[in-house]
Structure 1
Amino acid sequence: MMLTKPLLLLRRVARNLVARVLFGAVLALAMAAFAPKILPLVPDNWQGRIKPDAVIPILNVLASTMLTVTTFSLSVMVSAFQAAASQATPRAYRLQLADTTTHTVLAVFTGAFLYSLTALVMYRAGFYAPETSVVILGVTILVIAAIVVAILRWIDHLSTLGSLDDTLSKVEQNAREPLARAMANPALGGLPLPEGARIPASAVAVPAPRGGYVQFVDMSKLDDLLGASGASLTLAVTPGVHVLKGRPLAWLLGKVDDPDALCACFTLGETRTNEEDARFGIVVLAEIAQRALSPGINDPGTAIDAIHRITRLLSECEGLRDVPPEFPRIEVPRLSAADLVEDGFAAIIRAGAEHPQVVGIAVDGLKQLESSGWAEMAPAVKAAQGYALRHARQHLVVSEDRDDLAGRL
């Protein structure tokens, strides 16, 4: 499914911890309006049995304990994510911040605190009628059940949180979706731009309003703006590219009523994100391998693990589908197999040139990719294999290591 601007915003809000936490306060406020309506469904003998004195102590316990648990959990989360950033790469840290399990658990803890605190305030202010206490107790029991489930999930999750294996797995999982979307919707659903195509002299540049990474291109909105005037557009950038203020985002052939509206269709940010950037996950895995091969860490095993994951991801790229463009007025540079291979292997080959086992695994992975269903992949991996062999000849001092690597090609 193609990512749209409303869906992108919805996903970002859903991953935002604040949005989830506020649900607890909203729940407590909503009880003031809905509790009287739910009350007729409760048996009469229960209504007389449950009084505010039975509910308020429970809310007091929740408010005090959940604040402590939330503070402790936040400190654990920050420590784990900082460890992931130092062991892997700061880019992996940003992917860890989108960890749904951690966010859900913290949202339950903090939401329960806000719920209990808000409910206490509503009781003291007289917004809750005494007879609705049975309904408030029922909701509080549901909140306690959610807390118990969250604690169990949190205990299980803490066993891997922040570990290098967990970080590698998350990066691989996050890389798979945008890669699959790029295969299914070549050129973001637009018309693929032929390699080496020249921009017409009459085309007008659409300048970037500020510098930053291109995070998202609203193709549907662009197509609507172009369709109203019959103009066409050639994108100069794709998600993941860094642009400077005033540099072309695209080239416009024709005229539109509001050129500034074209700029608004490009979401720019200070950081690179993976929502539409098919290359980002591969780059992060390669960075983790580079960090592992640095003299201060010297962990070839992690580099080899990253190579295997990159190879798996690229092997799943069976080629760009030949589908009719959804937005024929917009030309977009297509994702290149050569770029993916370079992102995944070039930096690792340079960093691991003195490690025969690392270069050997990289060459083996490239060898397996030769049979990829993507026709562009074979020449790209052949070039990368030659690049690996040239580096090995320069850095491997033992002739047997060099001969073994040459024999794998």
Structure 2
Amino acid sequence: MIEQFLLYLRRIARKLWFRVVLISVLSLLALLLAPLAKPLLPDSLSEDFGREAVLPVLTILASGMLAVTTFSLNVMVSAYRTAASMATPRVYRLLLEDTVTHRVLATFVGGFIFSLSGVILFRARYYTPEGALVVFGITIVVVVLIVGAILRWIDHLSGLGSMDHTLRLIESRTRDSMRARLDMPCLGGQRSDSSGVPDDAAAIPASRSGFVRFAGMAQLNELAEEAGTEITLAKAPGEYILRGQPVAWAAAGDNDFCKAASKAIDIGDVRSFDQDPSFGLTLLAETAQRALSPGINDPGTAIEVMGRLGRLLWETMPADEISSTRKPEFPNVKVPPVTARHLLRCAFPPIARSGSDSPSVMGWMQKTLEELESHSNPEMAKAAAEMRKELGEGGSG
């Protein structure tokens, strides 16, 4: 349960509203607690930097931040829609997790809440002269933060919604996901084989239809250890399943055990990067397909995408001896491995179907696969050679 709770917190922290609410609450607390703080400056300054000095500044901030926030939200939505139309619709959810945009908008909204609440509290005669001096000091800090956020926002807007920014964001999240799998092969469990399901195995049914997004390995391992059995995932994160179908198998177990194990596997309507390293490769391939469509006809973007794909597969695919000798952290859970062939199939065949008429695209693909043939992982090298032969030798570099 702790593992799933932390997952829930991570997903909440990626939401725009989370930072906005957090900064807004901190702003209100700063205003409400200001009378309790003792100013570091002499009390004689209360006359010069008290109510009459800070109230006009708060009034200007209250009116200005509302306009800035509304404008920024319109720009954000427009840029994200443009990026989704140029790349792939599924990148929109990834763009919504942009932390720079979150911090900037949270600062703007927090500044608006702070200034508006400050005006209300001053009009209500809530502050003593000493408290007003403290609010003046906090206001100076807020103004500095707002100016910094505006400068950061101007710099960020220069690339927001562009193809370069979108591809960079997808590659970054994909690299994080693949490195996480590199650190914990098979999610920290044992590597499941393809020997099939035992006849006496108990099926762990899926609680709903959708994509497997997260497997709580610690909870599954604990359940299996208490029951003296082993759990084998039938569907790896990223795969689709219908409600009631076996999402995992247990060597033995009653109904209560199967229900508890089913709750440890998160299933949702959309795929997630959390434990699915192939999702980012799929998004990159879809972006290249969109670029190669007749309406856009941009082989340069497809070539750039293949460069990023080759970089990801070269740098994040572990050498075979690394993953095979690592001791599993959750020995009672077996997980299907992410194979090199699966990663390559997510990346290159979709681009080959859309770019078969472009010699430059096919030539770059052959070059990328040829370079992957010298990978330190024998599985990757073999899969790349097979795929290069499968996709043909057409095109020139």
Question: TM-score per shorter chain, which class?
Answer: over 0.9
The answer to whether residue 330 in structure 2 is matched with residue 332 in structure 1 is no
In 2, Cα distance between the equivalents of 1:228 and 1:326? 16
Q: Which residue of 2 aligns with 1:374?
A: 377
2:240 aligned residue:
242
Deviation at 1:73, TM superposition (A): 0.5
Query: 1:379: Cα distance to partner?
Result: 1.7
- Is the 1:178–1:277 Cα contact (8 Å) retained in structure 2? yes
Which stretches in structure 2 are left out of the alignment for 5+ residues?
none
Q: Which residue of 2 aligns with 1:308?
A: 307
Residue 23 of structure 2 is aligned to residue 29 of structure 1 = no
Per-residue CA shift, 1:161-200, capped at 9, x if unaligned? 1011111111111110111111221110001002x22111
Output one character per residue of 1:270-325: Cα deviation in whole Å (capped at 9) or x when no partner. 11111221101111111111111111110000000000100000001133523111
Percent identity over paired residues: 44
Q: Aligned with 1:90: secondary structure?
A: coil
Count the aligned residue pairs: 391
Task: Give the secondary-structure state (helix, strand or coil) at the position aligned to 1:376.
Answer: helix
Q: 1:48-86 CA deviation, whole Å, 9 max, x = no partner? A: 443323222221111111010011011111111101011
Taking structure 1 as reference, are residues 32 and 289 closer, same or farther at Cα in structure 2, changes over 3 Å only?
closer
Please tell me the residue identity of whatever aligns with 1:296: G
Instruction: State the distance in 2 between where 1:325 and 1:292 align.
Output: 42
Give the Cα separation in 1 of the matches to 2:348 and 2:30.
56
Q: Does residue 1:318 correspond to 2:321, yes or no?
A: no
Residues 101-124 of structure 1 deviation map (CA, whole Å, 9 limit, x = unaligned):
111111111111112222233334
| 1:141-163: CA deviation from partner (whole Å, max 9, x where unpaired) | 11111110111111111111101
Residue among 218, 221, 229 paired with 2:219: 221
Q: Deviations over 1:199-228 (max 9, x none)?
A: 111111111111111111111111122222
Task: Kindly indicate whether the alpha-carbon contact (under 8 Å) linking 1:108 and 1:146 is maintained by their aligned counterparts in 2.
Answer: yes
Are 1:15 and 2:18 an aligned pair?
no
* CA deviation vs aligned residue, 1:327-372 (integer Å, no higher than 9, x gap): 1111110110000011111111111111111001000000000111
Please show how residues 174-323 of structure 1 align to structure 2 within 5 Å: 174-194=173-193, 196-255=194-253, 257-316=256-315, 317-319=317-319, 321=323, 322-323=325-326
Corresponding position of 2:140: 141
Secondary structure class of the residue paired with 1:251: strand
Give the letter aligned to residue 20 of structure 1.
R
Cα 1:134–1:79 shift into 2, 3 Å? same
Q: Greater CA deviation, 155-164 or 50-59?
A: 50-59
The equivalent residue for 1:168 is 167
In the TM superposition, what are the counterparts of 1:25-104 in structure 2 within 5 Å?
25-31=24-30, 34-39=33-38, 41-104=40-103
Whether the aligned pair in 2 keeps the contact of 1:25 and 1:118 (CA below 8 Å) is: no
> SS at 1:205's partner residue?
strand
TM-score, structure 2 as length reference: 0.93
Tell me, yes or no, if the aligned pair for 1:108 and 1:147 is still in contact at 8 Å: yes
Listed one character per residue, the Cα deviations across residues 249-274 of structure 1 (whole Å, up to 9, x for unaligned) are 11122226543221221122211111
CA contact (8 A) 1:32 1:127 kept: no
Q: Report the CA distance shift for 1:103/1:33 in structure 2 as closer, same or farther (over 3 A).
A: closer
- The 3-state SS of whatever aligns with 1:249 is strand
The normalised TM-score by structure 1 is 0.91
Opposite residue 212 of structure 1, the aligned amino acid is G
- CA–CA distance in 2 between the matches of 1:265 and 1:122? 48
**What amino acid maps onto 2:275 in structure 1?**
E
Report whether the alignment pairs 1:384 with 2:387: yes
* Counterpart Cα distance in 2 of 1:4 and 1:146: 35
- For residue 350 of structure 1, the aligned residue among 349, 353, 356 is 353
Task: Give 1:40 deviation, angstroms.
Answer: 5.1
Paired residue secondary structure (2:331): strand
Query: In the alignment, is the contact (CA less than 8 A) between 1:232 and 1:330 conserved in 2?
Result: yes
